[in-house]
Structure 1
């Protein structure tokens, strides 16, 4: 098992403001699989993702990624873990406005000892003709492609996506999902995708549904359909 989560608990605040967000989550994911995490707002799905990404610490429990326990790493060790293993894609692109597309991607390229080929990645993501443009000169979909390229250039083993299509229209959402599917096939990247969109679960290998801080249901998707055939995005 590439990702192993056991009895994950996470809370915030104290006294009257105390809230238990994750209440003992146990799950796992095989290497190279795509997994959707669904749940209502406030269910704990983004906190779940942030804990795996080392952005939030656990109260208790265990997170193993590729056999390495990360739940009790020190800050410097967490930085190394994120640099060496993870790519992040968010709903908001977080591009550096005064850097070009290529320069935004190079920011992360320099962090990796074994980055992907820049030209090949630009070609795969349809960014060759846009590589010298600034974010303000791009559409929302093009900015998200740039954000994806920036996450992928490090050649991460695990890609964490928090509402990657949340700010996009239906057609652009489908284009981005097709790209994620191609990346999964081409590079074998393991993906965790947090989304409110009910259609995206149809294209992935595994679905986890979180309710009130616990897994209410999880299952392997035996009837996957290609991203290009998704409806109601």
Structure 2
């Protein structure tokens, strides 16, 4: 099993402001799977993603990625874990405004000794003709493509996506999901996608529903649809 999570707990605050956000999350995800994590606002889905990504520290529990335990790692070890294993995609693109598309991608290319081919990635993401533009010259969808390319250039084993279509219109959302599906098939990248969008669960291998800090549903999707067939995005 590629990703193993056991009894993950996480709280914030203390005293009257104490809030236990995750109350014992346990699940497994196989290598190469696309997995959706859904739940209402405040249910804990983004916190779960951040704990897997080493951005938040768990109170207790275990997270193993490719057999390696990440709970208990110090700051330098977590930094190395993220560098070696992870790509992050967020709702807001976090591009460097005074760097071109290609330069934004190169920031992460330099973090690895085994990057994907830049020209191939630009072509796959439809960015070749935009590589010398600055973020302000791009549409929202093109900026998200650049953010995806930046996450992918270092050839991560695990891609963590927090509302990757949240700021996009319906058509652009479908284009991005088709792209993520293509990346999953082409590179075998394991993906965790936090989303409010119910339609996205129809295209993935596995669905996790979180309610009040606990998993209420956890199932394999036996009737997957191709991303191009999704409706009501």
User: Which residue in 1 is equivalent to 2:170?
Assistant: 170
CA shift for structure 1 position 195:
0.0
Distance 2:154 2:19 in 1: 36
CA shift for structure 1 position 95:
0.2
User: Which residue in 2 is equivalent to 1:191?
Assistant: 191
Distance 1:9 1:219 in 2: 21
Partner of 1:193, secondary structure, is strand
Alignment map for 1:86-101 (pairs within 5 Å): 86-101=86-101
User: Which residue in 2 is equivalent to 1:44?
Assistant: 44
User: Which residue in 2 is equivalent to 1:127?
Assistant: 127
TM-score by length of 2: 1.00
CA shift for structure 1 position 61:
0.3
TM-score by length of 1: 1.00
Partner of 1:199, secondary structure, is helix
Alignment map for 1:34-183 (pairs within 5 Å): 34-183=34-183
Q: Which runs of no fewer than 5 residues in structure 2 stay unpaired? A: none
CA shift for structure 1 position 10:
0.2
Q: Residues 177-231 of structure 1: CA distance to partner in whole angstroms, max 9, x if unpaired? A: 0000000000000000000000000000000000000000110000000000000
How many residues of Structure 1 are paired with residues of Structure 2 in the alignment? 233
User: Which residue in 2 is equivalent to 1:232?
Assistant: 232
User: Which residue in 1 is equivalent to 2:26?
Assistant: 26
Structure 1 runs, 4 residues or longer, greater than 4 Å off:
none
Distance 1:14 1:78 in 2: 25
CA shift for structure 1 position 27:
0.2
Alignment map for 1:208-223 (pairs within 5 Å): 208-223=208-223
CA shift for structure 1 position 110:
0.2
Distance 1:144 1:217 in 2: 29
RMSD (CA atoms): 0.2
Distance 1:110 1:147 in 2: 16
User: Which residue in 2 is equivalent to 1:206?
Assistant: 206
